[in-house]
Amino acid sequence: MRYSGFRVIREALTGHKGWGPAWRDATPQASYDYIIVGGGGHGLATAYYLAKEFKQARIAVVEKGWIGGGNVGRNTTIIRSNYLLDGNEPFYEFSLKLWEGLEQDFNYNAMVSQRGIINLFHTDAQRDAYTRRGNAMILHGADAELLNRDQVRAMYPFLNFDNARFPIKGALMQRRGGTVRHDAVAWGYARGASDRGVDIIQNCEVTGFRREGGRVTGIETSRGFIGAKKIGVAVAGSSSKVMAAADMRLPMESHVLQAFVSEGLKPVIDGVMTYGAGHFYVSQSDKGGLVFGGDIDGYNSYAQRGNMPVVEDVAEGGMSLMPMIGRARLLRSWGGIMDMSMDGSPIIDKTDIDGLYFNGGWCYGGFKATPASGWCFAHLLATGNPHPTATAYRFDRFRKGLMIDEKGQGAQPNLH
C-alpha cells in the first residue's frame, strides 16, 4: 500500500479499516542468498538498499528481539555531516543527502527536520578548530557557517553567554543538520524492504555461524539453522559478542550511553545545540520535551542502562550552558550499548571468512549514518567492493596506521 494524502482522506471516510500492518513478520525459510544479522537501522537499511538499489533477492533480516528495540530506537536523533577528516566527511555527506530524499524514497513519514545544528565554541583555539572543520566540510560539498556571538545570541538569548570560565564566543552552524524520528526510520526501512520481498524475522537470536572450508554456509539461531550464501552482521553494541561466534576479536569495546527527556515545554530550542565546554547537547522534540545527552559512562558495559554519576554530569553541563533548564523536570532516561571502536570511526568490511561481512564500530554517532551505512554495506555485499565513500572503513587500518581519529585520542575507546 502506498501512503499518500489521498489515502489518509479515503481511510478517514471509511473508518480507518484499510490500514494493514506496515511489514510482514516472516517465519524463517530454509535458506537465503543474503542474511543480515541485526534489525536495527543499519541492518534494515542494508536489506532495503540490497533489494531496491542492487536488485538482489532472497534476503532476510534476523533480529533477536523486535526491530527498532536497539540503538535505532534509543538515540537522540541528531543527523549532521560536520566531520573533519577525509575518511569520514564524504561518507557522512552522502548520508545527509540520502536523508534529504529518504521520505519520498521509502514513502514513509520519518519527520526528517533540517532544523540546523550549532556547535558552540568558548575559546579562540576552539574557534580556529571549528573554522578548519567548516572549511573541510565546504571542500567536501557540505554546508557550514561560522556564527559570531551576536548571531548565536539572536537565536538563543537565554544561554549563559558570560559564564566566567566558558563564555560563548560563537558557533559552527550546519543548517542542513537536524533531527529525524528514529523509530520511523526503522519502520520505514522495514516496510520498504518487506514490500520488496525481504523477510523480517524477529525474536530470532543468532548464536553461531556454520562454516565449511573457510566459507560461511549459514547461521545457527534460537529458531534453528538458516542457510545463507552471504551474511552481513550489523548488531551495533553486540558486535564483539556476535563476531566471537566466528572466532574473531574486534578493535572495539562496548559502552553505555544515556539519553534524557524533560517534561513537555513551550517551544524554546528550535534547532540542535552542542556545548563546547561540557558534555551536553540538546534539541526539543515536537511534543515539547527537551531531548538531551552527554558522554558515555566510561567503562565497558552491556547493561543497557546507565549509572547516576553521568546523570549528574549531564545535568551539570545543562545547568552551566542554560541555567533555566534547572526549572524543568526530567521525565525519562535510558541507555543503549555503543560499539566504541579504537579510533572512534566505523568498519564496513569483509572478514577473512568467505561470505561473512561486518558493519559496526559506530560509537555514539551511527544514527546519522543509517542511510549511507545501509547503502555502502549493501554495495559491499552485492558487488564485493567497498562503496567509494566507505573505502577507509577497513579492519586493517589499525595495522597499517591509517586510523580515522577525529578526536585524536588514540586507542582509548572510552575517551572517543
Partner 1 sequence: MIINHPLLGPRDAQEFTYLGDAALIDRPDGLSYPTPDAAMDAMHDYLYQRSNPAGEHRELWYHEQGDRSWLVVTRNTVTHEITRVELARDVARMRGRSK
Which residue ranges make up the site for partner 1 (CB under 8 A)?
Answer: 238, 240-241, 244, 249-254, 298-303, 307, 309, 342, 398-399, 411-414
CB nearer to ligand FAD: give 232 or 237.
237
CB of 285 vs partner 1, minimal distance in Å: 30
Residue among 152, 117, 404 at smallest CA distance from 282: 117
Whose Cβ is closer to ligand FAD: residue 82's or residue 127's?
A: 82
When the beta carbons of 169 and 259 are compared against ligand FAD, the nearer one is: 259
> How distant is the alpha carbon of residue 183 from its chain centre?
12
Minimum distance of ligand FAD from residue 185's CB (angstroms): 8
Closest CA to 81 of 136, 21, 124: 136
Whether the Cβ atoms of residue 353 and residue 246 lie closer than 8 Å to each other: yes
362 binds, among ligand FAD, partner 1, none (CB under 5 to 8 A by kind): ligand FAD
Looking only at the bridges linking them, the beta strands covering 289-300 and 330-341 are unpaired
Cα distance between residue 185 and residue 146, in whole Å: 31
Cell match 571549528: residue? 130
Q: Which range touches ligand FAD (CB under 6 A), out of 74-82, 325-333, 383-391, 400-408?
A: 74-82
Of the candidates 5, 106, 124, 71, the residue with the CA atom closest to the CA atom of residue 371: 106
Taking the complex as a whole, the smallest distance from the CB of residue 405 to ligand FAD amounts, in Å, to 18
Of residues 288-307, which lie at the interface with ligand FAD (CB under 6 A)? 293
Which neighbouring-strand residues pair with 31?
227
Distance CA 321, CA 318 (A): 5
Cell of 155: 537565536
Give me the least distance between CB of 283 and ligand FAD, in Å please.
9
Q: Is 368 in the site for ligand FAD (CB under 6 A)?
A: yes
Cα–Cα distance, 311 to 335 (Å, whole number): 11
d(CA 348, CA 392): 9
x/- string (CB under 6 A) for ligand FAD, residues 194-213? -----------xx-------
Closer residue to partner 1 in complex, CB, 77/301: 301
Residue 237 Cβ, how far from ligand FAD at the closest point, in Å? Answer: 6
What are 227's three cell numbers?
542457510
> Which of partner 1, ligand FAD, none sits in contact with 42, Cβ below 5 to 8 A by type?
ligand FAD
Residue 367 binding target from partner 1, ligand FAD, none, CB below 5 to 8 Å by type: ligand FAD
Instruction: Please identify the residue of the shown chain whose CB is closest to the bound ligand FAD.
Output: 40
CB of 82 to partner 1, least distance (A): 27
Say if CB 220 and CB 208 are below 8 A apart. yes
Give the shortest CB-226-to-partner 1 separation in angstroms: 23
| Closest separation in Å from C-beta 367 to ligand FAD | 3
For ligand FAD, which is the closer residue by CB, 81 or 127?
81
- With vertex at residue 280, the alpha carbon angle to CA 83 and CA 114, rounded to the nearest 5 degrees, is 50
Dig out the grid coordinates for 270 from the structure. Answer: 528550535
Q: What gap in Å lies between CA 221 and CA 224, rounded to an integer?
A: 5
Question: Does the footprint of ligand FAD cover residue 134 (CB under 6 A)?
Answer: no
271 touches which of ligand FAD, partner 1, none (CB within 5 to 8 A by kind)? none
Helix (H) / strand (E) containing 49: helix 41-52
Which residues touch 277 (CB under 8 Å, ≥6 apart)? 120, 122, 165, 166, 320, 321
With a CB cutoff of 8 Å and minimum separation 6, the contacts of 391 are none
Give backbone dihedrals phi and psi of 48, rounded to 5 degrees, phi first.
Answer: -60, -50
40 binds, options ligand FAD, partner 1, none, Cβ within 5 to 8 A by partner type? ligand FAD
- Interaction mask 6-45, ligand FAD, x per CB under 6 A: -------------------------------xxxxxxx--
Q: Which residues, listed in sequence order, are joined to residue 220 by a DSSP beta bridge?
A: 208, 225
The distance of closest approach from Cβ of residue 255 to partner 1 in the complex, given in angstroms and rounded to an integer, is 10
Q: Residue 348's binding partner, choosing from partner 1, ligand FAD, none, with beta-carbon cut-off 5 to 8 A by kind?
A: none
Q: How far is the CB of 397 from partner 1 (least distance, A)?
A: 10
Give the interface with ligand FAD as residue ranges (CB under 6 A): 37-43, 62-65, 69-72, 74-78, 205-206, 234-238, 242, 257-259, 293, 336, 362, 364-368
